[in-house]
Amino acid sequence: MTPRSVLSRSLGPVLTAGALVAGLLAAGSPAAAGGAAGHGDRGWVGTWAASPTTVPETGTAVFQDQTLRQIVHVSTGGSAVRVRLSNEFGERPLVIGEARVARGDGEAPERIAPGGDRRLTFGGRTSVTVPPGERILSDPVALQVPALSDLAVSIYLPRRTEGTTIHASAFQQSVVAAGNVTGAAEVEASSVIEQWYFLTGVSVRGPEPGPGRAGARGSIVTLGDSITDGAITAVNADHRWPDHLARRLRAAGLGHLGVLNAGISGNRLLHDAKAPPGSEAEAFAAYFGEAGLRRFRRDVAAQPGVRYVIVLLGINDIGQPGNVAPASEEVSAAQIIDGHRRLIAAAHRRGLRIYGATLTPFEGDTLGFHSPGRERRRQAVNRWIRTSGAYDGVIDFDAAVRDPADPGRLLARFDSGDHLHPNDAGMEALAAAVPLRLFR
């Protein structure tokens, strides 16, 4: 079963109590401690991001003498660009023979737009080796990047390279082609992929083409699970709720703010990915990533120009244990709330404004997550988000997509069919529920 089919069927939007929760914000992966320093230049703002994970022990993709042309949809525009590549889950050096960035064709991932292709360098070098556990940021390159447009990032992998650093649920097609064709206007695809490999961020600087902007530039990071990641939306449509939010911001004169999607399908707030021994989940649970608390520093605090955070995490903490996570990792509403408090404290220490989104309904889900007791936990967490005043603001996603006649369920017209993930229309409803005054 492909990663996307597994994730579409098996993922939803949990840490244990006490010492484990307390340790995650202080820990972080080796790469989390670096990485951010390279983005110290003032004026840079994130326009696109993907949170990386490791891969299961079997089924890892291997590339050799091939070009990956990967398509990303940016939020805010600019006149210069930098690209972030990652080998943080690799066990061997990642050799990049050449890398280029170009404006995408907008139709086919094989093609780039005429006149918009630039070679990337790293410390002035056109090729670079990224050590295991590390990330690297390209040198700035002049390129007019329109807001809400596609970029094609092409990387050539000359040596045998295992695709161990991945974002498994892209909901965007990219292509693999033979040889070094990074500069080709159109490549002949040997395969089509729906994952992002080694590519974790794009940032821009300078005025974007077109109308002027009002206000200071910055970025909004959306920290979440599969609902933020985009499951189960149309491929190549950019219908994730953060994409819809970026369009709303631009239409409202707030296009100077980038929107960075830090959603990982299957992600939990409190626990790292872990499959029950001997279960089917061993084939895909690694894609669920590190706990939201653990990855906060890398995926939120280290992002260029970050000013705001939106958090939608907790459904997997409630629903996964005993299913695609060990039953021993069952958590209470109080433990989830404590995890949220720790995220808030981490954001405030860094001067960020952080907004809590209520957990959406999942009664009747086809994944086996729901029970009356788990629904009570969801309601308790939502009640705390709405009434505690702990977050700097509240975004009521639950109210936006629930069925008024049966509040434990998604409204039918927003239901993807698994009764857990909103469909494309539901994603638009989530974005519409975000009060734009939070960013003015």
Sign for the CA dihedral angle at 321, 325, 328, 333 comes to negative
The answer to whether the beta carbons of residues 47 and 76 sit under 8 Å apart is yes
The answer to whether the beta carbons of residues 265 and 286 sit under 8 Å apart is no
pLDDT greater than 60 at residue 40: no
Tell me, yes or no, whether 174 and 261 share the same domain: no
> SS3 for 260?
strand
Number of domains in the chain: 2
pLDDT tens, residue by residue, 94-110: 999 999 999 998 889 99
pLDDT of residue 208: 73
pLDDT tens, residue by residue, 75-97: 999 999 999 999 999 999 999 99
Domain boundaries, position 300:
3-34+217-439
Residue 14 is part of a domain; what is its CATH number? 3.40.50.1110
Label residue 209 by pLDDT band (50, 70, 90): low
pLDDT of residue 342: 98
What CA–CA distances, in Å, run from 356 to 121, 176, 193, 314? 39, 38, 33, 11
pLDDT of residue 27: 34
Tell me, yes or no, whether 283 and 370 share the same domain: yes
pLDDT tens, residue by residue, 114-138: 988 999 999 999 999 999 999 999 9
pLDDT of residue 111: 95
Q: Of 170, 204, 238, which residue constitutes the final position of a domain?
A: 204
pLDDT greater than 60 at residue 383: yes
Mean pLDDT of 238-267: 98
Q: Does residue 288 form part of some domain? A: yes
What is the DSSP code (8-state) at residue 297? I
Q: Of 204, 227, 261, which residue constitutes the final position of a domain?
A: 204
Q: Does residue 345 form part of some domain? A: yes
Tell me, yes or no, whether 222 and 301 share the same domain: yes
Tell me, yes or no, whether 190 and 327 share the same domain: no
Q: Does residue 257 form part of some domain? A: yes
The answer to whether the beta carbons of residues 226 and 193 sit under 8 Å apart is no
Q: How far apart are CA 258 and CA 241, in angstroms?
A: 14
Q: 156: which strand partners?
A: 67, 98
Instruction: Please measure the distance between the N-terminal and C-terminal CA atoms of the chain and give it in whole angstroms.
Output: 45
Tell me, yes or no, whether 122 and 185 share the same domain: yes
pLDDT of residue 394: 98
Label residue 214 by pLDDT band (50, 70, 90): low
pLDDT of residue 36: 36
Mean pLDDT of 17-45: 43
Q: 98: which strand partners?
A: 156
pLDDT tens, residue by residue, 385-427: 999 999 999 999 999 999 999 999 999 999 999 999 999 999 9
Q: Does residue 161 form part of some domain? A: yes
pLDDT of residue 393: 98
Q: Does residue 50 form part of some domain? A: no
Query: Minimal CA–CA distance to 402: which of 388, 384, 419, 383?
Result: 419
pLDDT tens, residue by residue, 274-285: 999 999 999 999
Mean pLDDT of the chain: 91
Tell me, yes or no, whether 233 and 183 share the same domain: no
Tell me, yes or no, whether 120 and 259 share the same domain: no
Question: Percentage of the chain surpassing pLDDT 90?
Answer: 86
pLDDT greater than 90 at residue 226: yes
Q: Does residue 105 form part of some domain? A: yes
Q: Of 204, 231, 256, which residue constitutes the final position of a domain?
A: 204
Tell me, yes or no, whether 391 and 279 share the same domain: yes
Tell me, yes or no, whether 182 and 222 share the same domain: no
Q: Does residue 227 form part of some domain? A: yes
pLDDT of residue 13: 41
Tell me, yes or no, whether 13 and 109 share the same domain: no
pLDDT greater than 80 at residue 180: yes
pLDDT tens, residue by residue, 333-355: 999 999 999 999 999 999 999 99
Q: Does residue 76 form part of some domain? A: yes
pLDDT of residue 192: 98
Q: How far apart are CA 36 and CA 38, in angstroms?
A: 5
pLDDT greater than 70 at residue 319: yes
Length of the chain: 440
The answer to whether the beta carbons of residues 334 and 316 sit under 8 Å apart is no
Tell me, yes or no, whether 121 and 245 share the same domain: no
pLDDT greater than 70 at residue 69: yes
Tell me, yes or no, whether 15 and 96 share the same domain: no
